[in-house]
Amino acid sequence: MLLTWTEFVTFLATGLQELTETEYGQVRYGDVAMAITLAALIAVAVFLTAARLVLWRRKHSRHHSGHAIASAYQKRVWVKVLHTAPKILIVGALSLILIAAADPFLTATEEVSGYVESRVRVDLVDTSGSMAWEFPDSDKSKAEVARDAHLRFLDMRAGKNDRVSLWLFSTYPYMVDDFVVDDELYYFQVWDAPYVMTQRLDKAMVVPPDKVRIIPAEGDTNIIRPLRSIVKAFDQDEAAMGGNENTNRAILIITDAAVDDFPDSEFRELSRRNIVPYIIYINTSDIRTRMMGGRSSTPRLIEMIREYGGDYFDVTDQDSLARAYEAIDEREAVRVELKHRALKVPIYSRFLFVAMAMLVVGIPMGFVSELLWGTGP
């Protein structure tokens, strides 16, 4: 069913209003790579078209006589506007289509009620300067390899109702959020977190600039401070939930194990509270060792985790994430109340609808202007 002109104008005005009311500071993009690929294809098409027009004009054009064209024969301003307007509309529409292709979305929460069986865990992610260096035999940083592994692990845990808190650490610890029981919200928190926190960027770092947070005095790998803070957080959470010290909990540390000091006393405190430490180990030393034909060495941090009943999972091993999943699944489940749930609100349609409206107006206007007044303004 075709829209009347009044309905079409109303539709376009509604779309424009939604765009203007969008809080762009809160917008996130799920597939930037798709937008970049589409932009590259459009750029190639535009370049080839422009090159073809240039060659055609050189072949069929005549040199200017040098005489000024009388104003009576020059095209009026409104004609030039009608020639230019379709091009502006089409370029604007293509820009909006590229934004829509990047899968823009907002996050929202809704209230829910009920209880679920959940396993309690803290994910502690290393964002120190050493994580910005290249992972061997790849074009990615260690941080990006670690993040990919972390997100794959979360995909595996989806639907398990894990009650998780995300922490980042470099020189100092940062709690991103308290314990949440929401797979989608937590996945977004991990996906959106910075790869590296450091006081300055080095040219040799391969981490994307938008994933770096420049913070004074950051960049070291101090694991003692976050573990002390996490022990306190577990104690506070236990008191709030009315639990007991026999509840099995876990802490999953994602790091290259290049720590400044070894947390003996902190691991003892975790063990005393029945909190089991695990590591997803960004193992670059073993790769270099194998390339050189030598024997691998296990960092002291991993040896300590094993001493306290934990285990490590090598990010270079395809089976390690499955073992990490099974290890967390062995933790005791507790009954927790579910109050809120995160929602992903796609907004690509806001951009796409306005782009389609601009094309509906721009393309016919371009044909009409060329039929009436030729191809040039």
Judged by DSSP in three states, 134 sits in: strand
**And the tokens for 229?**
């803070």
Per DSSP, the residues of 293-361 read T------HHHHHHHHTT-EEEETT-TTHHHHHHHHHHTSPPEEEE--EEEEEEE-HHHHHHHHHHHHHH
pLDDT band at 292 (very low <50, low <70, confident <90, very high): very low
**pLDDT tens by residue, 301-332:** 888 888 888 888 887 765 776 777 777 777 66
DSSP state letter for 194: -
**pLDDT tens by residue, 90-131:** 888 888 888 888 888 776 665 555 566 678 899 999 999 888
**pTM for this model (two decimals):** 0.63
In angstroms, the CA 294 to CA 329 distance is 35
Q: Which residue has the higher pLDDT, 199 or 338?
A: 199
Q: How far is CA 154 from the centre of its chain?
A: 14
**pLDDT tens by residue, 89-98:** 888 888 888 8
Judged by DSSP in three states, 141 sits in: strand
**pLDDT tens by residue, 17-70:** 777 777 777 777 777 777 777 888 888 877 887 777 667 666 555 555 555 555
| Domains in the chain, CATH or no CATH each | 5-57+74-105+347-373 (no CATH), 113-338 (3.40.50.410)
Per DSSP, helices labelled H in the chain are: 5-21, 32-60, 77-101, 142-157, 183-192, 224-241, 264-272, 285-292, 300-307, 320-329, 348-373
Q: What is the mean pLDDT of the chain?
A: 77
